[in-house]
Each structure stands twice: as C-alpha cells, then as structure tokens.
Amino acid sequence: MSLFCFLFVPLFYLFRRSFSGGGGSGGVWALLLGSLNAIFQFSLGYFINPGGFGFSRWLYGFVDIVSLPVIVPVLLYALLTFFRIFRGTADFANFTLLWLIPVAALRSITWSVNSNAILLVLVPVLWTALAVGISFFIGIVMTHSRWYITVFITICILALLTAAALAYWAFFSQQTLLGLSLLCASILPAVISVLLDIFRAGT
C-alpha cells in the first residue's frame, strides 16, 4: 500500500501526459514548491485534531488529508498564471499532480506506520481525482466566461471538494456503500476529462 501511495500520482501524471500533450508551464516549479510544501507540512503537523467520527473528522479530512492539499497548488497556479509568471499553456492538472508527487512520497513514509488503506490507497486516488476534476471545471470557465457559468462551476468545484472529504469520512466511519457512492461522484469529473482528452488526441 505504501508503494501505491508513492507511485499512483506520478504514474497517473505520466499516463495523462501521454495523450494530453505537453506538461504545461511551471512543471519544475511545481516539483520544487511541492517538495517545500511537503517538508513544511511534515514539520508543522496537522491543523485539525479529529475527535471520533463526527464533523471534526470530516473537517480533518478536508483540511489536512484530502481537499486542502489540492486547493493550495490550484490557487497558487491560478495566481502565478494571472500575473503571467509562467509562460506557455496553462495546465492546472499537470501542475497540481507534479506538486503532489513529493507530498505523496513523504506521506507514503509517514502513513506506512499504521498501514491504513484509507490513507495509503483512497487518498492518492482522491488527490488525483480532485486535481484533474478541478482542472476540468476551470477549463470550462476559461472557455465560457459568462457569469452564470462561472457561478455554477464554482458550486461544482466546492461540491467536488466536499464530496471527496466526505468519501474519506465515510470510509473511515465504515459506511462503505456511502463511501463508494461519494468516491464515484468525486472521480466522475476526472474520468470525463480523461476521456475527452483521449478523444481529442485521437482526432
């Protein structure tokens, strides 16, 4: 399971890049900043102290485990792209996936102590689903910049982030059916994005 946590994100990155073309701008910075972030997180520890199976456990999943680790590189990349610090084609998914590679590598070591399948298997899948899914939604906004589309897509992104954290909470709470449903909902935008990229690459 530790090996899965260590390899899933970089292998998915290579898989996606094989049909999506270039890696987008800022790849080297993504690895560098992601490494610094991983060390910072390790030194700082967790922000939330989860207490059982209630709201604090979901909040712990959202802030420390699943959602916030993906939100940070997405927002940073948006900021750097807005100020034109990176040249070339913007690719939120590839930047976020590269950022998460050192994070996943360090977590594979720290989480391997307890051999928790939820952390070592589920979380890397959710990270990847969020990175690609959020990028998919951002691409829609960049293509169709009407205000109501932006509002709707913002709601979709927030719902995606919430569902991913809930999936972690449900599996932790041993509500497997609910967890599977939320997992499917969390990965659906990423699956659609990958299928569309494969279709474009083949045409």
Q: Give the model's pLDDT for residue 68.
A: 94
Pairwise CA distance, residues 65 & 119, whole Å: 8
pLDDT over 60 at 81, yes or no: yes
Q: Give the model's pLDDT for residue 22.
A: 59
Of the given ranges (72-81, 86-95, 102-111, 161-170), which has the lowest mean pLDDT? 86-95
Confidence of residue 180 (pLDDT cuts 50, 70, 90): very high
Closest Cα to residue 58, out of 177, 134, 184, 170? 170
Q: Give the model's pLDDT for residue 91.
A: 85
- Name the residue with higher pLDDT: 84 or 126: 126
Residue 16 near residue 194 (C-beta atoms within 8 A): yes
Buried b (16+ CB within 10 A) or exposed e, 97-110: bbbbbbbbbbbbee
CA distances from 17 to 2, 10, 158, 184, 201 (A): 24, 10, 26, 23, 11
Confidence of residue 80 (pLDDT cuts 50, 70, 90): confident
pLDDT over 70 at 59, yes or no: yes
Closest Cα to residue 41, out of 122, 114, 99? 99
Report field, pTM of the whole predicted structure over 0.85: yes
The one-character DSSP state at 112 is G
pLDDT over 90 at 136, yes or no: yes
pLDDT digits over 12-53, tens only?
A: 999 988 887 655 667 888 999 999 999 988 888 889 888 777
Q: Is 140 helix (H, G, I), strand (E, B) or coil?
A: helix
